[in-house]
Amino acid sequence: MKYNPFKIILWILFLVFVLLNSLRLFIYGFIISFMIVIIDRAFFGTRKRSDHQFLNLFFAFTSIVALFYTFSPFFRSLEFKISHPKWQKLEVLSIQRGATSNVSTPFNFLEKTYTPVTINYLDVDGKLQSRREEIKHYAILGFEPLFKKQIIEKELDYIHSRSLNKLIDKKAVNLYQHPFKNSIKMFKGNDAFALRHSIGFQIALLITYLLFIGLTIYCVLRYKQLKTAIKSTNIKEQKKAYIILFIVMCTYLVLAITVLHYLKF
């Protein structure tokens, strides 16, 4: 299999993305991909096809699992509970909040807002314990004059306050204690998806902005070539053109949703 610079960069980003989460994600992607390849090879495919297919499946499924692990508190808590069955879940009694603060970058762009909280819980011996943590949410990545900082602050304050109140009212914190050590693992929230709690949200937006600009310019300059490729009988060229257009549409969709949400405030 030949690797061009684009594929090498893609695989490096893939490795960094997964390693920033958990090595277990590689295992999940490998098992799912291996099972699909074995079934396909036994009943439908050939060895050559299976070898190439495995890499694509491994990349796709591991990325999907990593995406859920990054942005889904419920999935992350459930995965830990299944993969660490001997860890004991602790009872959370109450959560007390502190003063909320904002953090800006050196260029005066709003980065995140956070609130310190004190979690009161019972340990495995039934004794009352306290743990201090920070609940944080990241702001929309916006650059003046297109995005006003005051509106971004207002939008972030709304997101943070709503999520923080929900977490405190429902005591939506999952604490697990190691069976043999005085080690505790904490998961904040039970939402299916919570995009704003991770810096991955801002990284994803930045990549989307760059793709939006770069691919828009590319499509304008290569309009005739793309049109010819779509009508071509060459499957490889046609596939490449459709992939580019699909990515372009995705970036436009994400950008449109971000702008509409920004305009609400």
Q: Which of 137, 143, 159, 110 is nearest to 209 (CA)?
A: 143
The answer as to whether 77 is a domain residue is: no
Last residue of a domain, one of 39, 71, 103: 71
- Judge whether 80 lies within some domain: no
186 and 141 fall within a common domain: yes
Q: Are residues 135 and 205 in the same domain?
A: no
- For the chain, the domain total comes to 3
Tokens found for residue 26: 């590689």
Same domain, 171 and 215: no
Residues 164 and 227 in one domain: no
User: Which residue among 71, 96, 116 closes a domain?
Assistant: 71
In this structure, the answer to whether residues 100 and 166 fall within a common structural domain is yes
Residue 227 covered by a domain: yes
pLDDT tens figures, 186-233: 888 888 888 888 888 888 888 889 889 988 998 898 888 888 888 878
Task: Identify whether 81 is part of a domain.
Answer: no
DSSP state letter for 132: E
Residues 6+ away with beta carbon under 8 Å from 219: 226, 244, 245, 248
User: Residue 138 in contact with residue 112, Cβ under 8 Å?
Assistant: yes
Looking at the structure, tell me whether residues 191 and 214 fall in a common domain: no
- Do 155 and 205 belong to one domain? no
Q: Do 94 and 192 reside in the same domain of the chain?
A: yes
Is position 106 within any domain? yes
Amino acid at the residue 165 = N
For residue 1, is pLDDT > 50? no
Tell me, yes or no, whether 98 and 177 share the same domain. Answer: yes
Same domain, 192 and 92: yes
How much of the chain, in percent, has pLDDT values that exceed 90?
17
If asked whether residues 111 and 171 sit together in one domain, one would say yes
Give the distance from CA 28 to its chain's centroid. 17
Average pLDDT over residues 47-73: 79
Over range 241-253, report the average pLDDT.
Answer: 89
On the question of pLDDT at 253 being above 90, the answer is yes
Place of tokens 């590319």: 218
Domain-located, residue 258: yes
Gyration radius from the chain CA atoms: 23
Domain end marker among 71, 103, 127 = 71
Residue 76 in domain: no
Structural domain of 34: 1-71
Looking at the structure, do residues 34 and 46 belong to the same domain, yes or no?
A: yes
Q: Is the pTM of this model over 0.95?
A: no
Query: What is the reported pLDDT for 48?
Result: 58
Query: Is the residue at 111 inside a domain?
Result: yes
Q: What is the pLDDT of residues 137-158, one digit of tens each?
A: 999 888 777 888 889 889 999 9
List, in sequence order, every beta strand (DSSP E) within the chain. 88-97, 101-104, 110-122, 128-138, 173-177, 184-188
